[in-house]
Amino acid sequence: MHVLSSKTITYGQLAKVIDHSLLKPELTEQDVMDGCKLAAKYNTATVCVKPCHVRIASKILKGSDVKVSTVVGFPHGSNLTAVKVAEANAAIDDGAVELDMVLNIGQLRSGKADYVQADIQAVCDAAHARGAKVKVILENAYLTDEQKVLACKLAEAAGADWVKTSTGFAPSGATLEDLRLMRATVSEKVQVKAAGGVRTLDALLAVIDAGVTRCGATATAAILDEFEKRPREDSANTVEPNLGRGY
């Protein structure tokens, strides 16, 4: 796993940390199309769209270097495992190559570790069989540190490619403390994604230094434009920001 640093990161590397998020419930098809075009312009890692918009995003981004990601069991993680697997397969059919699935939050909080691991593994197995990758959303706002650690370990055991902090719709999103805890818990085989409240360049650079390789963002244009304008010696000397809530 390549380790990124705010002190040496290039514009191209920074763009490829971003999953441009198009998950707000009120977004129209035109909003999604415009968002995909923005992601293509800035050459982000992916656009993360709702399942109903995967086909649209795949069509617009065909031939570009921007991948299509979508969500599974979003935002509460409470779907039956069979439904999550069906959702994963349908998304891959439509062109998604990365899936951000929400683990079953209530079952985790109930101590049902075997259920949670099996739920994650079913989606990972289905995705990996078809060449797609899986990010497991913990929704840290509802978990104790002990539960966050357990969730990370279950996700890795189940075959997750990333562990992710949040959906962006809980009371709070990514925090630097949570990101460091998650990075310390999983092995180098598993990457860490931040989501929820990363709206500025300083915030993005801070989460990268906490071990993040991918970050959900809606303020993509503002972040990358600021990086281009800012002298590099300034961008390397950031203070730890207070991360907010939501995408």
Q: 19, 100, 161, 209: which one is catalytic?
A: 100
Q: Which of 84, 178, 193, 202 is catalytic?
A: 193
Strand 191-194 vs strand 162-164: parallel, antiparallel, or unpaired?
A: parallel
d(CA 210, CA 189): 16
Query: CA-to-CA distance for 236 and 5, rounded, in angstroms?
Result: 9
Catalytic: 164? yes
Three-state SS for the chain is: CCCCCCCCCCHHHHHCCEEEEECCCCCCHHHHHHHHHHHHHHCCCEEEECHHHHHHHHHHHCCCCCEEEEEECCCCCCCCHHHHHHHHHHHHHHCCCEEEEECCHHHHHCCCHHHHHHHHHHHHHHHHCCCCEEEEECCHHHCCHHHHHHHHHHHHHHCCCEEECCCCCCCCCCCHHHHHHHHHHCCCCCEEEECCCCCCHHHHHHHHHCCCCEEEECCHHHHHHHHHHCCHHHHCCCCCCCCCCCC
> Of 16, 135, 148, 164, which is the active-site residue?
164
Name the amino acid, one letter, at 127.
Answer: A
Catalytic positions, please? Answer: 100, 164, 193
